[in-house]
Amino acid sequence: MAHDSKHYIVIKDSNENDDGRLGAERITVERNIFLNWEGDPGDTFLQVGNDGKPYFEAIDVNIENNLFLGNSSNPIGSAFGVSGAKNVQFINNTVAGNLPAEAYAARIAIKELNPRNENITLCNNIWSDPTGTMGSITLEEDNGFSEGRLDSTVNLSLDSNLYWNGGQPIPDGDLLSPLKDDPHAMVADPQLENDFDGLILPIWGGTQFLSGNLLVRDEFLRLAQDYGSLAQRSPALRRGNLDCAPGDDIFRFERDVLPSFGADQGTNGITSMLSPFRLYVTSISQ
């Protein structure tokens, strides 16, 4: 494998004023499953702004209720990146597994002519690396939670997130350090499924998926339930921040006044009876 693909999703505006508008606006990325990274080690699963333009390349972006899985041994830059954007919320997402990454959570910086980022919020997320190597590509490297420069962003907020590094210390970051910058940080094992050896990739085999499923919806539910759902006694349950929680979760179950950390609210039960809803599974290279 060449491992030369790029970010799975990029939100940006590269054509300057050709269409009479500067910047992609009012974008929501929700209920996706990102996994099996095969890209460049400097890129991210999801990137907001990318081209170094002299304006905000993206404005009013909500990234919520997504599942990011570190099931691949291929290095990644970080799960999430921002370069030249304004009003970006990364809320109630679950990032789980050993990516491995240069910075586990985020790379928040500016490129070339970008204005400084404004109002970037990371809230109610689960960041869980059970291997104890959060934010390092090799065992010999220091761990790191985030990359970037403090002077590249105005109003950067890390609040009410759950962190787990396999019982090892939660690492600092260049611009965001969980135990220093998150006033409501929780360090605990969210009790997610971490055994990726048996993970069956959502690859279409011609007549069915490799798992035997026939529908994309069933593949989504299989992966979300197996690797993103919270155990009944998970410390992530109902411990989040209501002020930044979306109204429902990755399964479209309602979040109540005691929202959970991560993509799953923890409402177990009748998933087979869920009404149809929009589901997205990021394409996987073979």
Domain count, the chain: 1
> Residue 61 contacts by C-beta under 8 Å, 6 or more apart in sequence?
11, 24, 27, 28, 29, 48, 85, 87, 88, 89
What pLDDT band is residue 15 in, cutting at 50, 70 and 90? confident
Average confidence (pLDDT) over 252-271: 85
Span 140-154, average pLDDT? 89
Q: Are 224 and 94 in contact (CB under 8 A)?
A: no
284 burial via Cβ count (<10 Å: 0-12, 13-18, 19+)? middle
Cα Rg of the chain (Å, integer)? 18
pTM of the model: 0.91
Residue 276 lies in a domain: no
Structural domain range at position 113: 9-267
Give the three-class secondary structure for 180: helix
Name the pLDDT band for 283 (thresholds 50, 70, 90).
very low
Q: Report yes or no: 91 and 121 within 8 Å, Cβ to Cβ.
A: yes
pLDDT(278) > 50: no
pLDDT above 90 covers a percentage of the chain that reads: 81
Q: Which of 103, 92, 111 is nearest to 70 (CA)?
A: 103
> Across residues 92-106, what is the average pLDDT?
95
| Domain assignment of residue 2, yes or no | no
Rounded to whole angstroms, the Cα distance separating 149 from 107 reads: 9
Helices and strands in the chain, H and E counts: 2, 17
Specify if 277 maps to a domain.
no
| Residues 262, 94: Cα–Cα separation, whole Å | 5
Which tokens is 112 given? 């070339």
- Of 59-63, 75-79, 133-137, 216-220, give the lowest mean pLDDT range: 133-137
Considering the domain boundaries, does residue 282 fall inside one? no
Q: How many residues does the chain have?
A: 286
pLDDT of residue 285: 32
283 is a domain residue:
no
Closest alpha carbon to 40 in 270, 257, 285, 272: 285
Output the 3-class SS for 111-168.
Answer: CCCCCCEEEEEEECCEEECCCCCCCCCCCCCCCCCEEECHHHEEEEEEECCEEECCCC
Residue 179 lies in a domain: yes
* 213 φ, ψ (degrees, to nearest 5): -70, 155
Residue 275 lies in a domain: no
Residue 260 lies in a domain: yes
